[in-house]
């Protein structure tokens, strides 16, 4: 161990002391439960922000991402219909 630099010896010492408990915590059911709760809270907050943003955009008479996506799908469907009609006419 004397051939290793001082910083590496210090790192290895700390690593040996915390690796076991950290790995045990990472595998614990409590951590899995906490992560699940955090993910659900994040999703709920994201839905709430999107809902409020949609409301504000509609109040300002601006389109939302859903509106734009719906219109894009309608334009794509119309293009397909026009293409089919052109192919039938030829």
For the chain, domain boundaries: 1-59, 63-90
Q: Where are the alpha helices (DSSP H) in the chain?
A: 6-26, 29-59, 65-89
| 58 HSE (CA, 13 A, CB side) | 9
The residue-averaged pLDDT of 30-35 equals: 94
Instruction: Report the first-to-last Cα separation within the chain, whole angstroms.
Output: 83
pLDDT digits (tens, 9 = 90+) for 56-83: 999 999 999 999 999 999 999 999 999 9
d(CA 32, CA 24): 12
d(CA 7, CA 30): 34
């Amino acid at each position: 161990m004397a051939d290793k630099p001082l910083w590496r010896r210090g790192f290895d010492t700390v690593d040996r002391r915390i690796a076991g408990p950290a790995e045990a915590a990472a595998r614990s059911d409590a951590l899995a439960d906490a992560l699940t709760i955090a993910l659900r809270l994040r999703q709920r907050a994201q839905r709430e922000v999107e809902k409020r943003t949609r409301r504000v955009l509609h109040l300002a008479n601006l389109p939302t991402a859903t509106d734009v996506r719906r219109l894009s799908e309608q334009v794509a469907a119309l293009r397909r219909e026009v293409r089919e009609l052109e192919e039938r006419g030829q």
